[in-house]
Amino acid sequence: MQTIDITLTINEQTHTLAVKPNDTLLEVVRDYLDLTGSKEGCGQGVCGSCTVLLDGHPVRACLTLALEADGSAVTTVEGLADGDILSPLQQSFIDHGAVQCGFCTPGMLISATALLKEQPHPDRKAVRKALSGNICRCTGYAKIVDAVEHAARPASGCPDCHTKDTGEDHD
Ligand code: FES
Ligand code: FES
């Protein structure tokens, strides 16, 4: 199939890539660049596991054509840490026990990163809204919401953390 050259800045590194017209952004980051943190769950825009930032906004990489992203800046989960130093949000997920199998975690982190950029101290309602497109089959969501809500504070400053783990926190 014919290929077309595009330029993407991914995690602050610029790449020129020859892509097929029907390649998705998810295929490009996973298969062309071996950035396999972004997950393919449904491949249909439902689960949110493929979420990346496109020019700062969370998008479903499985539904975004690589051609549409030409010239854009993309952040994947691999771009959140500073070398070996996790972002405060990533550390908060660990501190709050918000990761079980981890399959949803990259998409959750990306959606939450976009929220925290706009709202550094979100309330639970704002967190639930920002994560409403990210499905988790393991955690019951409460610890994930704790982690995002308290990402700017250490776990010791979070008296409500590690409480009941039910699904009631996810709209
Ligand atoms: S893999 Fe993209 S939304 Fe599920
Ligand atoms: S931790 Fe397993 S899907 Fe969320």
User: In terms of domains, do 122 and 65 share one?
Assistant: no
Substitution site in 60, 110, 134 for ligand 1 pocket (most atoms within 8 Å of beta carbon)? 60
pLDDT digits (tens, 9 = 90+) for 23-71: 999 999 999 999 999 999 999 999 999 999 999 999 999 999 999 999 9
Domain assignment present for 171: no
Provide the pLDDT for residue 152: 79
Which residues have CB under 8 Å from 87's CB, separation 6+?
Answer: 80, 81, 109, 113
| Total count of domains within the chain | 2
Q: In this predicted structure, what is the pLDDT of residue 154?
A: 54
Please determine, for residue 104, whether its predicted confidence score (pLDDT) is greater than 90.
yes
Q: Which atom of ligand 1 is nearest to the CA of 62?
A: 2
Please, what sign has the CA dihedral across residues 86, 87, 88, 90? negative
Mean pLDDT of 94-121: 97
Residues near 117 by beta carbon (within 8 Å), at least 6 away in sequence: 56
Local confidence band at 165 (pLDDT 50, 70, 90 cut-offs)? very low
The answer to whether the CB of 47 is under 6 A from ligand 1 is yes
pLDDT of 162 above 80: no
Cβ of 78: how many Cβ atoms within 10 Å? 16
**Could you report the per-residue pLDDT of 108-146, keeping only the tens digit for each?**
999 999 999 999 999 999 999 999 999 999 999 999 999
Query: Per-residue DSSP letters for 125-151?
Result: HHHHHHTTT---SSS-SHHHHHHHHTT
Q: Which atom of ligand 2 is nearest to the CA of 108?
A: 4
Considering the domain architecture, whether residues 16 and 66 belong to the same structural domain is answered as yes
- What's the average model confidence in pLDDT over 63-90? 97
pTM: 0.90
User: Is residue 96 assigned to a domain?
Assistant: yes
Please report which confidence band the pLDDT of residue 166 belongs to, taking 50, 70 and 90 as the band edges.
Answer: very low
Residue 20 sits in a domain of what CATH number? 3.10.20.30
Same domain flag for 42 and 62: yes
Question: What SS3 class is residue 18?
Answer: strand
Does the residue 120 lie in any domain?
yes
Asked if residue 161 has pLDDT above 70, the reply is no
Residue of the CA atom closest to atom 3 of ligand 1: 45
Res 163 pLDDT > 50: no
